[in-house]
Amino acid sequence: MSNLEREPWEATCGGLTDVAAEPVSRLLEGHDVALGGPRAMKVTRTLPNREIRMVGAWCFADYYGPEKATMRVPPHPHTGLQTVSWLVEGEVLHRDCLGSEQLVKPGQLNLMTAGRGISHSEHSPRDAVLHGVQLWVALPSAHRQVAPHFEHHPVLPSLAGPGFRATVLMGELGGVVSPAQTYTPLVGAEVTLDAGAETRIPLQPGFEYAALSLSGTARAEKIVLDPGPLLYLGCGRSELLLRAERPARLLLLGGEPFEERIVMWWNFIGRSHEEIVAFRQEWMAGDTFGTVPGTDDAPLPAPALPSVPLKSRGRRR
């Protein structure tokens, strides 16, 4: 999924200085972004946030739906990241310059590793119900030049207990390991809670975590979590207490704090403003990123880039 903001700001993210080393409970509101053309749907973006830039290697989170909408995102580029598509309702067709063409449905994972550079498009049926999240994972320097590739996982492993079931999208949770390829220690899991559930989800104290409600209302520790905001939990937890009076579904994100400093702008992740400028020039010149077959849409032009990089806004504590 593309960042379709007309004037995206350049964000400096990562580093250990600002990570909350102890457990915290900070509810962070996102901001609304229109996505996908004339019948655009509204998404709520909670990462990067003015207060919290990253959670482990997770650096981008868009939540959308449920609503009748049409996702039509023309071919656009990515560098230095993985895109993670996860649906609660609806379906989205992925195409990329490698020749991949894959429909993703609820409970299935589409994972695209951009590495040194890739382009792709995403389309949904016209005026159908869409409900889900789009996430990005930053690649560390050792792997950010990896050859681009695409994975589809129609079946994923799960961890179950009294009143809950956790599907592990990426990484490991409670000894259950996803087959999806990762490049840093992390976890992404969808946790479904039955009515009246009270359970404790195992965590790793060295990871920082956040939770996002996908449907229903849950309590994470003592915080009421409705769809929309992101609950930042910090590090130092060995478990997370979850409760739900009615059925609920939430997304758990976590990972080792991302030590490197990265620069994010539009659909690119680099290590400097100058590198971002070069990525943009290559995309606009038609170099490096290939051509997406099977779509009549013209490639998405890059927004104007600020002449000087913006300073990192806010701090993560």
Question: Residue 90 belongs to a domain with what CATH number?
Answer: 2.60.120.10
Look up the pTM and report it. Answer: 0.94
Is the pLDDT higher at 1 or at 278?
Answer: 278
Number of domains observed in the structure of the chain: 1
Torsion angle (degrees, nearest 10) of CA 166, 31, 144, 149: 60
- Evaluate if residue 315 carries a pLDDT over 90: no
Tens digit of pLDDT for each residue in 156-203?
999 999 999 999 999 999 999 999 999 999 999 999 999 999 999 999
Evaluate whether residue 317 is within a structural domain: no
Token digits of residue 244? 């739900």
- Tell me what the mean pLDDT of segment 190-218 comes to: 97
The alpha carbons of the chain give a radius of gyration, in whole angstroms, of: 18
Alpha carbon distance 114, 235 (integer Å): 28
Alpha carbon distance 56, 208 (integer Å): 6
Evaluate whether residue 219 is within a structural domain: yes
Evaluate whether residue 240 is within a structural domain: yes
- Evaluate if residue 226 carries a pLDDT over 90: yes
Evaluate whether residue 234 is within a structural domain: yes
Closest CA to 300 of 8, 36, 7, 9: 36
Evaluate whether residue 5 is within a structural domain: no
Pairing of strands 158-161, 164-173: antiparallel
Alpha carbon distance 171, 155 (integer Å): 15
- Tell me what the mean pLDDT of segment 267-287 comes to: 94
Residue partners of 120: CB distance under 8 A and separation at least 6: 75, 76, 78, 83, 94, 95, 96, 97, 100, 112, 292
- Tell me what the mean pLDDT of segment 19-36 comes to: 87
Alpha carbon distance 89, 169 (integer Å): 16
Range(s) of the domain holding residue 185: 30-261
Evaluate whether residue 65 is within a structural domain: yes
Tens digit of pLDDT for each residue in 112-154?
999 999 999 999 998 899 999 999 999 999 999 999 999 999 9
Specify the amino acid at residue 227. P
Evaluate whether residue 57 is within a structural domain: yes
Evaluate whether residue 56 is within a structural domain: yes
